[in-house]
Every structure is written in C-alpha cells, then in structure tokens.
C-alpha cells in the first residue's frame, strides 16, 4: 500500500479514517466525490455515519489489534476525525509503512491537555495561567497559585465540557477532586473574554498553509451552538488569530487540518485548545468556501496542493437531538428559505445534547446569514 516516502496519492487510492462520526462522514463524501476509496475504523459500532458511506467499515475498538491490522492493510494513508482514541493505530501504520496525517505525535499532544499547554508555550503562544495536578493536595496548591475561579479539567480525553469542573472556592477542592475521579488534571484560571474564536487551518506536505478566516462561536452547555464567519473583530485581531493558527501548524509540522480555538480577551488573544482534524465551527466552509475544510483535509493528507479556503459571509447553527423531543422536525418548513442548507449526520437515535446535524446560510452579511439559519432552526419545531 502507501509509503511515507511517496506523499502524493491520486484518485483511486484509499483514505483510512480513524473514527466514523459526522466529521468522517463529510470527509468520506468529499473523498468519494474526488474518486478516492474510503475505509473507516469505527471504534466498535456498525452502520456508523461515516461507515455507511465508506467502501469498507471495520467494526472494532480502537485498541483491537486485529481490527487495526485489517484497517491499516486496507489504507494508503490514514487520517483522523476524532482525536480521543488509542494511538495503537499509529504504531501499526508506522510498522506497515502507511503514512498517518496528521501524525500520531500531534494527536497525542491534542488528547493530553498538559502536553498541549506545553506545546503551545513552546511555540511562544499565550494560554490561560495553568498548573498540573496529580493529587488533591496538588489541586489545592494550584488554587493557591492561580486563585479562584478555576476550571479543573481531566488531562486526557475531554471534549464538549466533559471531564471538567469549575471551582469557585477553595473549600470545593475535595468535591472537585472526587467528581473528576482522582485523575491527572490541568487546572486553568477562568479568563474573562469578549468572544470565542476559531481558525481552521490546513497545512500541506510541502509546508503551504491556508486558513478559512476567523470564525466567531457561541456555546450552550459547553456544546457549540452557532458559528459566524467572518468574526466581528478588528482587522488586527483577525490577523493575529490567523497568524497564531499558522504558527501552531508550522511548529507542529502539521500535515492535514487543524482547528485552533481562541479567546478574545479584549486585551489580546489566548489559545484555548487545538484539534488536529476538521471542526464543527468549520462546517459552514462547505457552502462558503471554494474548498471546504474537508476538501483541504483530503488534499493535504494526499500530498496535493491546497485549495482556496476563503469564505463568503456565512453562519452555522447546530441541530441537537433535543429538537426531536416532540417527533420528527419539520424539515420542509426549515427549507422554505432557499439560502438555508441542511446537513443531517445519519444518526438513528436523537439523544439530548447529541449532534444530529446542522444548518448553514451564506450571504452578503454574516449577521443576516445567522438570523436566517436561526429562523430556520426555529421553524423546525414551530416555536
């Protein structure tokens, strides 16, 4: 199959995707459009959002050696749609000469908050004041250093607000330590900010870097709810955000796509976290950019030239399982506006808080695009 010494893979080659959710699904759609084959390693479930579109769906845990061997043998290059996985697939791919892009080393940094903080600091980028903690005593000491309020986060495998607790008073240390299961932590100061931003950046095998501009994000219950591009920031702030994303991509020698999440404090930008894969905040690139984040991922991991990532004004609103609480949403009502685009992820069970799809709108003004998308979401349930 593929070799790390031959970076360029052309249509007909097989893209291996670690993870089989909606991000893998949208990558699979682009890969199939461009004439590539797709194999996915699901993590243990079958008929997954990505798997039903793939040429081959391998149902096995991310630590299942047999499933990993089957997956690697079927792929010419391997990429990721989810970073919180066992990295044995990277080791197996290396042994079999199959390139992994982004590298497993980058994924290891992204799935460990302590490694992530240190990598960002090494790149010269600002992050919130933080301390590591491996015991209740160290957690208490971190509060003494940082002062409350802080957020105590599990060092590994946290996303969408999972594995973290806000501590507003030193007396809560014991409860917080117990709530997080006595595991290794990263403790961060709560930093006041004006807005949450993100930059989805792609870096090619040859070192070219392209981004989609600066997105402005709004979260509800730690889950991304809406995104607007371009963000309502000054030109100086936008340029700084893009420069920081490019800096990280180059510092880590990224080959693929990465989302850099930032806080705009009003006095400057700090990096919150990175994700070496496409990101929810980049969904609007499908309609807004000549080359979406998923096309950029495909191009980068196959060693091809990156596309044009510049976005027209656009907005995205997330569709969670809560919208199905009274039955099937009214899709016809949402799509009465011809400027609204529907994406459903093929998930059978609409649980509360589960990402089931999204709506996007593209136009001449990002604020109006957001209003159209929000109105369409309201129309889904008639209120």
The stretch 45-74 carries a mean pLDDT of 97
Tell me the C-alpha distance between 19 and 48, whole Å: 9
Contact of 234 with 249, CB cutoff 8 Å: no
H helix runs in 55-167, sequence order: 65-74, 88-96, 104-110, 113-122, 136-146
Does position 160 have pLDDT exceeding 80, yes or no?
no
The stretch 55-83 carries a mean pLDDT of 97
The stretch 288-314 carries a mean pLDDT of 98
Tell how strand 56-58 and strand 150-154 pair up: unpaired
Does position 112 have pLDDT exceeding 50, yes or no?
yes
pLDDT mean across residues, the chain: 94
Confidence at 158, pLDDT banded by 50, 70, 90: low
pLDDT at 2: 39
Confidence at 161, pLDDT banded by 50, 70, 90: low
pLDDT at 1: 43
Burial 12-38 (b: 16+ CB within 10 A, else e): ebbbbbbbbbbbbbbbbbbbeeeebbb
Residues 6 or more apart whose Cβ sits within 8 Å of residue 94: 100, 104
pLDDT tens digit sequence for 38-58? 999 999 999 999 999 999 999
Which single residue is written with the structure tokens 């995205």?
316
pLDDT tens digit sequence for 328-380? 999 999 999 999 999 999 998 999 999 999 999 999 999 999 999 999 999 99
Run of H or E residues at 250? helix 235-251
Confidence at 383, pLDDT banded by 50, 70, 90: low
pLDDT at 382: 82
The model carries a pTM of 0.94
CA-wise closest residue to 15 among 63, 61, 54: 54
Neighbours of 64 (CB within 10 A): 19
Confidence at 7, pLDDT banded by 50, 70, 90: confident
Strand order in the sheet with 355-362: 269-275, 256-264, 195-203, 209-220, 223-229, 314-320, 355-362, 340-344
Does position 98 have pLDDT exceeding 80, yes or no?
yes
3-state helix, strand, coil in the chain (%, to 5): 35, 25, 40
The partner residues of 18 in beta bridges, in order of sequence, read 41, 80
Task: Provide the 3-class DSSP secondary structure of residue 183.
Answer: coil
Does position 63 have pLDDT exceeding 80, yes or no?
yes
pLDDT at 4: 45
The stretch 116-123 carries a mean pLDDT of 95
And the tokens for 265?
Answer: 């404090």
Contact of 74 with 10, CB cutoff 8 Å: no
């Amino acid at each position: 199959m593929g070799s790390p010494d031959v970076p360029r893979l052309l249509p007909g080659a097989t893209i291996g995707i670690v993870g089989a959710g909606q991000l893998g699904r949208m990558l699979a759609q682009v890969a199939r459009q461009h004439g590539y084959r797709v194999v996915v390693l699901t993590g243990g479930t079958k008929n997954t959002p990505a798997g039903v579109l793939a040429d081959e769906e391998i149902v096995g845990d991310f630590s299942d050696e047999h499933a990993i061997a089957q997956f690697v043998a079927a792929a010419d290059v391997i990429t990721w749609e989810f970073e919180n996985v066992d990295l044995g697939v990277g080791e197996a791919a290396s042994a079999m000469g199959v390139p992994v892009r982004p590298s497993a080393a980058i994924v290891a940094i992204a799935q460990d908050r302590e490694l992530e903080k240190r990598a960002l600091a090494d790149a010269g980028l600002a992050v919130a004041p933080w301390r590591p903690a491996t015991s209740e005593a160290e957690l208490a000491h971190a509060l003494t250093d940082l002062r409350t309020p802080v957020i105590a986060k599990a060092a590994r495998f946290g996303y969408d607000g999972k594995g973290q607790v806000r501590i507003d008073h030193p007396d809560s240390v014991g409860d917080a330590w117990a709530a997080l299961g006595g595991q290794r932590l990263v403790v961060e100061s709560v930093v006041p900010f004006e807005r949450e931003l993100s930059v989805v950046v792609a870096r090619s095998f040859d070192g070219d870097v392209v981004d989609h501009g600066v997105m402005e994000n709004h979260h509800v219950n730690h889950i991304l709810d809406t995104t607007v591009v371009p963000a309502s920031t000054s030109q100086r702030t936008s340029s700084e955000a893009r420069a920081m994303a490019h800096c990280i991509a180059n510092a880590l020698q990224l080959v693929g796509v990465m989302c850099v999440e930032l806080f705009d404090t009003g006095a400057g930008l700090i990096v919150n976290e990175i994700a070496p894969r496409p990101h929810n905040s980049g969904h609007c690139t499908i309609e807004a950019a000549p080359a979406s984040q998923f096309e950029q991922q495909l191009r980068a991991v196959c060693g091809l030239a990156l596309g044009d990532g510049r976005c027209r004004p656009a907005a995205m609103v997330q569709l969670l399982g809560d919208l199905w609480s009274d039955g099937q949403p009214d899709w016809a009502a949402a799509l009465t506006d011809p400027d609204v685009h529907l994406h459903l992820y093929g998930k059978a069970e609409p649980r509360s808080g589960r990402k089931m799809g999204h709506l996007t709108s593209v136009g001449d003004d990002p604020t109006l695009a957001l209003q159209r998308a929000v109105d369409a979401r309201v129309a889904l349930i008639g209120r």
